[in-house]
Structure 1
Amino acid sequence: MTDIVSSEPAAAGKTAEELAGLKNIAMVVYALQALSFLWGVTAIIGIVINYVKREDARGTLYESHFDWQIRSFWWGLLWSVVGVILIFVLVGFFVLFATWVWMIYRVVKGWLKLNEGKPVMPA
């Protein structure tokens, strides 16, 4: 007898509509993070949304996306602050540029994984 095992994480009792809603929220936050390259305030809106809806994503594949987005925000903010402080010794420009490239990578990778219906690993 062959057991069929789903490769998708358990949906934690969520309905299809709830899962679709979580996917839409994750997509909106990725868009807000992308827009933060032009207007930084959109990243703050995205992180607030992440924290408000994080509990709803528990046990779904979207949990890793929410964690990915939260970590991207906080690490990006940390390295941006370090870069601004180090501008006075001219190294800060390199730190800011590296942070900018890293954030683009995080947004693109997360968005692509979301569109594929896969979790982002490691979150």
Structure 2
Amino acid sequence: MSDSMSNDKRRSLTIYNHITYFLYVISYFTAGLLWIVPIVMNYAKRHDADGTWLSTHFDWQIKTFWYSIVWFIIGIVITAFALGGFGVSMLADSGNIAIGSTLLAGFGLLIVTFTFIWHLYRIIRGWIALTDGRPVP
């Protein structure tokens, strides 16, 4: 990767990336309401870093966002489907359906939990790399 960007531009984009990583971390304390802000910011400035090591941080955050959204939705859908089955089993007085629904709901919650941890890991790993002045893989 060539790095033909001026020092001021590099410093500006580095600070910008620090802000977006910070907003991702803060989003955990706002029930995810701030999740949309850093993704919009990343798309807005992504092409300013083309051809530099900073472009890897923009791509890293964008991929982290989209993969997290997809897996989180899959986990929620599985959990909601399972809990619906659990409600049906209560009405039908069927213990077998209740056990299966409980296991499926647990699987859905496991996906949500894994996604949460994976997202946090990627934000921390990326932020550490940015602080060290390194690209992320």
TM-score, length of structure 1 as denominator length: 0.87
**% identical aligned pairs:** 33
1:64 counterpart SS class: helix
Task: Compare CA radii of gyration and give the structure with the larger one.
Answer: 2
- Shifted more, 99-108 versus 35-44: the winner is 35-44
**Structure 2: which 5+ residue stretches go unaligned?**
83-103
Aligned residue among 25, 39, 52 for 1:34: 25
Paired residue type of 2:122: R
Aligned residue among 64, 70, 73 for 1:72: 64
Paired with 1:26 and 1:78, the residues of 2 have a C-alpha distance of 23
1:44 counterpart SS class: helix
- Structure with a larger share of its residues in helix: 2
**Residue 113 (1) aligns with residue 104 (2):** no
Q: Which residue of 2 aligns with 1:103?
A: 119
Paired residue type of 1:30: Y
Aligned residue among 53, 68, 71 for 2:45: 53
**Structure 1: which 5+ residue stretches go unaligned?**
1-8
Q: How many residues align?
A: 112
Aligned residue among 21, 29, 36 for 2:12: 21
Q: Which residue of 2 aligns with 1:81?
A: 73
TM-score, length of structure 2 as denominator length: 0.78
